[in-house]
Structure 1
Amino acid sequence: MAGRNRWGQHAALLLAILAMLPGCAALLPRQTGIDRRLAALPRDGLALGGPVTIRWNDHLVPWIEAASDADLAFALGLVHGHLRGTQIALLRMVARGRLAEIAGPLATDIDHALRILDFGRAAPAIERGWPAGTRAFVGSFLAGLNHALLRGPRPPESGLLGLRREPLTTADLLAIGRLAGTDINWLAWFSLLAERGTPGFARRWQRTLEAGAGTTMPANGEQAALGALLQGLSRSGSNAVAIAPSRSASGAALLASDPHLGLSLPNLWMLVGMRSPSFHLVGMMVPGLPIVGLGRNPDVAWGGTNLRAASSDLFDVSRLPPEAFSGTEVTIRQRLWFSARRRVRLTPHGPVVTDSPVVPGRPGEAIALRWAGHEPADEVTALLRAARARSGAEFRESFSGFAVSPQNMLYADRHGTIGRVTAAVLPSRAGFPQADPVLDAQDPAATAPWRRLWDARDLPWLENPPEGVLASANEHPALWAEDPPPLGWFFSDGDRVARLRTLALARPKLTPADLATMQRDTVAPKAAALAAGLLRRLEALPGGAPEPGLLAPLRGWDGDYAEASRAALVFELLLARLVPALQPEGGGRGPETGWNFLTTFLLRDLDALPPERREAVLRRAVAEAVPAATQYRDWGEVHRLRAAHWLVNLPVLGRAFVLGTWPVGGSRETPMKSGHGLVTGPHEVTFGSMARQVSDMADPDSNWFVLFGGQDGWLGSAAFADQVPLWREGRSIRMPLHPATVAAEFPRVTVLRP
């Protein structure tokens, strides 16, 4: 028996090695220049009506010119597939709950959760409702995309991951779009479900509501993995600023936008310029989707931030009659192992999420998720209309059918109008439950809001504020809208939007360079206030503050998390010792470590302690911070920016995919967001500002974009990470609209022929 066990272990190891052999090229990818990558673009058997010209700049950014919209869509799909084919295939695997086909049984429970969430559930109804123009554009885009996926060269990592050539379907495309629209509230809810009814839950939930806490990352393995996937791929952050002509040096409106997403490579955006009879614009596209999320045409520039609205509700369906449930068994294929079967149940209030072990609930309780992303709303048509808008009013009206993820869309038009529109489909709630996030499915008052859904026509919007500045950073709607309806539970702390407004109003006239500088700002005003509060309490201790040399940098600190800041380092080292002492049940993890909790409760919790206990906590925090503060010089020495392919997450082999690490400024809620948890020493930023856009409506050529990473997803490509130096140095790539400028700055030419 022992011999057979050893043979089984050896056989498993041999199978694993054999499975990896086709992907060895990914470990030592061949260095590939721009011209070689362009030469590899598929050009035979193209389903085009006429020739299409693609101009490329030195960063492999395409500018596509086509005589018909259908040919433009085909060429866009071809470019997406060529530059980001593997990334698109992986987005499909996540959206469809097929990760176990790559990772084997380790991912089966995550796949089960993804199958329950079913990002493609509404796809058939959405497709049936498409206008003819949308249907034709998407069809041509998919034809071009699949031509590249099925006939183009195989990416180096395909063998490593066991990816097969497989065409993308319309349903896949829509599922990827809905994956990007994930409701960020899920992560907080899923981490709390099992605690409902336990001692301490009521207090924790009330603190969560008071803090208005944002996204929380669960601590346990599979739930954390699911949370990392959803947070990293969904549009959960961002800044945007619109400036009126009265405050612009050029006399025309300005717009700046920088989305916040996961910082792994390749970037979750790609840069594209395009012109056809209906479309003339530059901007950022999500790989695999035929829409421009942030961009500029001759008449309108636009960007946006996640609204962080609650586009979902949880319902307790435990007491519904059996006939209210419908179910099916799904087959989950597992790499190097047998297929698994799992149950998926549906109710009138959505899928039963607690059927997945990744979303644990209380024993005997079934919780369903009702989500606007399961409704047949139409983001594709909305964004195709927005791309063709000729005024701010037309742009705003485009979003009547836009559902997820809920967005604050900011715009600036050629006539000088600046504005913002709430782009979302939400239940018409009168309010939110205060005692429990789970609603009773048998309560008519709880289910009624889903019978009347709001969209952009019903939700707040604003144009041309008197001060000439609009800023958005995932803030509570009450900060800009008068008496807004109940939209959500959790929003950003407000630090970023306050800082952006301060910077925008500090100058009488702003230039595009000023907006680019704002995007790289590393000041958190509430950090300065919190540090000053801590310092006062330390200095009030008997005998004065301990370790005065350590605390000296905090005196007068303005909250700047610059790379060279000593104060930022000391402040964060103190926080990392104080939070676990004040909330020991959290173990230094979970929502209590979030910025909203720190700014709301840290000083209050300290002051609530008996004086002797407070003194002991403060003295111990300072004493425990001394060793790290002695070892490290400044914030940049511990706060590190890592450029790495997402294959870095592979066990054993992952470090081969790290391109470099550098010191970086910023923090959780600085305009240049570089997220992190509690800081005890060196750590790597994995979420934050990962793309930038600035446009000046005075000149169609005045548009600048940059990605953290590069345009090409091909391992070894010269354009894989060539924009990282630009991003780090505050430089960018001009994306013009005038044909003569495009010809001059995009000198490489590819002609696609039918």
Structure 2
Amino acid sequence: MLLAVVALLPGCAALLPRPVGVEQRLAALPRDGLALQRPVTIRWNDHLVPWVEAETDGDLAFALGLVHGHLRGAQVSLLRMIARGRLSEIAGPLASDIDHALRILDFGRAAPAIEASWPAETRDFVARFLAGLNHSLMTGPRPPEYGLLGLSREPVTTADLLAVGRLAGTDINWFSYFSLLAERGSPGFARRWQRVLEAGAGTGGPATAGEAALGVLLRSVSRSGSNAVAIAPARSASGAAMLASDPHLGLSLPNLWLLAGMRSPSFHLVGMMVPGLPIVGLGRNPDVAWGGTNLRAASSDLFDVSRLPPEAFAESEATIRQRLWFPARRRVRVSPEGPVISDAAVVPARPGDVIALRWAGHERADEITALLKAARARSGAEFRDSFSGFAVSPQNMLWAGRDGSIGRVTAAILPSRAGFPQADPVLDGSDPAATGPWRRLWDARDLPRLENPADGVLVSANESPATWAKDPPPIGYFFSDGDRVARLRALALARPKLTPQDLAAMQTDTVAPKAALLAAGLLARLDALPGGAPDPALLAPLRGWDGDYAAESRAALVFELILAKLVPALQPEAGGRGPETGWNFLTTFLLHDLDALPAARREAVLRAAVAEAAPVAARYATWGEIHRLRAAHWLVNLPVLGRRFVLGLHPVGGSRETPMKSGHGLIGGPHEVSFGSMARQVSDMADPDANWFTLFGGQDGWLGSAAFADQVPLWRERRAIRLPLRAETVATEFPRITVLRP
């Protein structure tokens, strides 16, 4: 006990953070010994959003790195620890199995080849960004989390930066693959795999606690969701193209995006940056606005490599340092088809299986150069062509141009597959026909694109490419249900002329059309029971329900409570978790599975679901009473101490597949939303200043800062911060000035 108390003493600054004002945080920005060529001006608004003006591109990169380190130093350090498989240095032996899996995945594997292939301008920009980032990390104030987590000051290397970038590109298909490995060959596997393919969703439930922890960790940092909408001038009230984008990620604080504006000889833009990376993922320059959604492409394949000879494997030993304990040593093997992921204890493969993972993120691709080019694009065509070297995470990138063009490009590197396996997700690593597609890779030049559609509307929401592209090549297994696309398109086409306010309202819409269809289908089957539907008062709100998951909705509450009782009864082997509880499965199979039951069994299941939901529904009046948004620092995941980092719980609308996504599984009562819409962007190309952004959280990662969570009210109240491009507007709306001198 004494040892635990002593270990926590350095963490008091995190457990009991002192309030820090905006002016104090600005005053703490490191300003001495800066490796600049010319003075740099940083203007700040009240939310600590920086607008950087530099006379050289190198000085811009340095200043951006300095700002990233100052505002998000602890977050950058933690991302590096995850990407490098060093969590045991924070959490001790509890994290050693997770670290082993991360070492096997090796997010930095391709870093040397990528760095060697960089053009000079990328190499220089990254080097200067890292110089600024490390100056801040090494000389600036020590973040409060460092003491609690046992972190020390450590410079970020180019290899670290590239590993963090690939970490953010995690293939979301891994979670589905891994959850199925232990069941391969079992009596029910063939049926389950076929249902997975038919539903087109595979967000499987974890088989072990370790797999669950790895899944939570990777999902929290990977770009796994999002909506994006591009509107042609003919449908715009301003007569110019418009774009709206809202990424879906973990809802922990600080946000996984950082807002910034910038200008130098080559760059003039505003947008969202990933902390610790020198790129703008979503944004706007004078000529192009862009956003994107996860393509959900299968950028990985699993291979059975058990038949390969021993000499085909490269083997090494990973030393995992552990906080307050001795180092652990684990085996890491790499086959010709990638690292042997089945060696990780948290991956539940069958005994004796030797399964390798081949991933596009291990290839020599270059997302940083692609996004630096995109940031400088002067037309939609230039923007589109920037992505030929972009690999992970696979994205649907949408743009709107000042010239009136709108378009989408499939930004990915994928194997040139002829199709997908129908019997087993694991391919034969000794079969040249199975491994051959990885010898010839497709990129954005080979994959579907679409420009200037006749109806003037482009919508993306992680949907299958088959819904918009003619004869697309095999891209993936698992895509989102079409609800968000259908709803966003309906809203976009409902008005002859759309305004930026209309696009902002679309981002906060809480209607799921297929929920209304499912509710109507359930009511029809309940009404058909002998004597009619049970508990008419409980079911009354569902009659005529339009699928709106507004926080004030009674119908959404009743519907979800009934689903939570009904689904496990239909698929008892799933135990109320796993892919059978996902939205694609519900919309594909729920009514079908009900109708396939014998009449007596169907009646019993329906009556039981209503009867079991009724007592819970009697305790709550609305969806928002049980569906609550958690605003919390990522330290909430700490055992015992985590609840100290919850800032608040708020009623919230939305659901799994509403445009304003607020993810959840089956629910039996109050629950916390920790994944969903966590940032918003709207741009109107008619006006360089017409750009609005909001983060769930705030700009500053410093615990106690006035800008740590100051945008949460804006996010909840559907307001936004304007990020202009005109110098005179920036001067007015970003009144605080910091001048950095060489």
Q: How far apart are residue 442 of structure 1 and its match?
A: 1.2
Match of 2:590 among 602, 606, 620: 602
Contact 1:219 1:590 in 2 (8 A): no
Number of residue pairs the alignment of both structures matches: 742
Alpha-carbon distance between aligned partners in 2 of 1:722 and 1:219, rounded to the nearest angstrom: 38
Match of 2:116 among 106, 123, 128: 128
Contact 1:286 1:292 in 2 (8 A): yes
Match of 1:83 among 56, 59, 71: 71
Q: Give the counterpart letter for 1:35 in structure 2.
A: E
Does 2:160 match 1:172?
yes
Contact 2:373 2:386 in 1 (8 A): yes
Q: How far apart are residue 351 of structure 1 and its match?
A: 0.2
Q: Secondary structure at the match of 1:267?
A: coil
Q: How does 1:383-394 map to 2 (within 5 A)?
A: 383-394=371-382
Contact 2:207 2:348 in 1 (8 A): no
Alpha-carbon distance between aligned partners in 2 of 1:653 and 1:487, rounded to the nearest angstrom: 43
2:679 alignment counterpart: 691
Contact 1:217 1:228 in 2 (8 A): no
Q: Give the counterpart letter for 2:120 in structure 1.
A: A
1:254 alignment counterpart: 242
Contact 2:17 2:703 in 1 (8 A): yes
Does 2:170 match 1:197?
no
Q: Secondary structure at the match of 1:195?
A: coil
Name the Cα RMSD after superposition. 0.6
Per-residue deviation, residues 669-692 of structure 1 (Å, max 9, x unmatched): 000000001010000001000000
Contact 1:528 1:558 in 2 (8 A): yes
Q: How far apart are residue 432 of structure 1 and its match?
A: 0.2
Match of 1:484 among 448, 453, 472: 472
Q: Secondary structure at the match of 1:308?
A: coil
1:454 alignment counterpart: 442
Does 2:292 match 1:298?
no
Q: Give the counterpart letter for 1:555 in structure 2.
A: R
Q: How does 1:362-511 map to 2 (within 5 A)?
A: 362-511=350-499
TM-score scaled to structure 1, two decimals?
Answer: 0.98
Structure 1's consecutive aligned runs of 4 or more residues displaced over 2 angstroms after TM superposition are: 214-217
Alpha-carbon distance between aligned partners in 2 of 1:463 and 1:279, rounded to the nearest angstrom: 25
Q: How does 1:562-581 map to 2 (within 5 A)?
A: 562-581=550-569
1:146 alignment counterpart: 134
Q: Give the counterpart letter for 1:265 in structure 2.
A: L
Q: Give the counterpart letter for 1:718 in structure 2.
A: A
Match of 2:251 among 255, 263, 267: 263
2:232 alignment counterpart: 244
Does 2:150 match 1:159?
no
Name which of structure 1's ranges 124-133 and 215-224 shifts more when overlaid on structure 2.
215-224
Q: Secondary structure at the match of 2:687?
A: coil
Contact 1:524 1:670 in 2 (8 A): yes
Alpha-carbon distance between aligned partners in 2 of 1:20 and 1:162, rounded to the nearest angstrom: 9
Alpha-carbon distance between aligned partners in 2 of 1:198 and 1:647, rounded to the nearest angstrom: 39
Q: How far apart are residue 16 of structure 1 and its match?
A: 1.8
Per-residue deviation, residues 216-240 of structure 1 (Å, max 9, x unmatched): 3415211001001111110000000
1:44 alignment counterpart: 32
Alpha-carbon distance between aligned partners in 2 of 1:215 and 1:678, rounded to the nearest angstrom: 14
Q: Secondary structure at the match of 1:515?
A: helix
Alpha-carbon distance between aligned partners in 1 of 2:5 and 2:445, rounded to the nearest angstrom: 57
Alpha-carbon distance between aligned partners in 2 of 1:460 and 1:360, rounded to the nearest angstrom: 35
Per-residue deviation, residues 91-142 of structure 1 (Å, max 9, x unmatched): 0000000000000000000000000000000000000000000000000000
Q: Give the counterpart letter for 2:290 in structure 1.
A: W
Q: Secondary structure at the match of 2:182?
A: helix
Per-residue deviation, residues 451-482 of structure 1 (Å, max 9, x unmatched): 11000000000100000000000000011101
Q: How far apart are residue 214 of structure 1 and its match?
A: 4.3
Name which of structure 1's ranges 345-354 and 652-661 shifts more when overlaid on structure 2.
652-661
Q: Give the counterpart letter for 1:164 in structure 2.
A: S
Alpha-carbon distance between aligned partners in 2 of 1:642 and 1:503, rounded to the nearest angstrom: 28
Q: Give the counterpart letter for 2:10 in structure 1.
A: P
Q: Secondary structure at the match of 1:676?
A: coil
Per-residue deviation, residues 313-368 of structure 1 (Å, max 9, x unmatched): 00000010111111000000000000000000001100000001101212211000
Does 2:220 match 1:232?
yes
Contact 2:180 2:204 in 1 (8 A): no
Match of 1:357 among 345, 348, 351: 345
Q: Give the counterpart letter for 1:472 in structure 2.
A: S
Contact 1:217 1:227 in 2 (8 A): no
Does 2:673 match 1:673?
no
1:118 alignment counterpart: 106
2:703 alignment counterpart: 715
Per-residue deviation, residues 508-541 of structure 1 (Å, max 9, x unmatched): 0000000000000000000000000000000000
Q: How far apart are residue 215 of structure 1 and its match?
A: 2.7
Alpha-carbon distance between aligned partners in 1 of 2:207 and 2:474, rounded to the nearest angstrom: 30
Match of 1:97 among 69, 79, 85: 85
2:275 alignment counterpart: 287
Match of 1:222 among 210, 219, 222: 210
Does 2:50 match 1:59?
no
Q: Secondary structure at the match of 1:415?
A: coil
Contact 1:423 1:455 in 2 (8 A): yes
Match of 1:344 among 332, 341, 362: 332
Match of 1:626 among 614, 638, 644: 614
Name which of structure 1's ranges 218-227 and 274-283 shifts more when overlaid on structure 2.
218-227
Distance change in 2, residues 1:190/1:490 (3 Å): same
Q: Give the counterpart letter for 1:590 in structure 2.
A: G
Contact 1:282 1:297 in 2 (8 A): yes
Alpha-carbon distance between aligned partners in 2 of 1:56 and 1:188, rounded to the nearest angstrom: 43
Alpha-carbon distance between aligned partners in 2 of 1:226 and 1:602, rounded to the nearest angstrom: 30
Q: How far apart are residue 74 of structure 1 and its match?
A: 0.1
1:4 alignment counterpart: none
Alpha-carbon distance between aligned partners in 1 of 2:208 and 2:723, rounded to the nearest angstrom: 44
Q: Secondary structure at the match of 1:720?
A: coil
Match of 1:589 among 577, 586, 590: 577
1:10 alignment counterpart: none
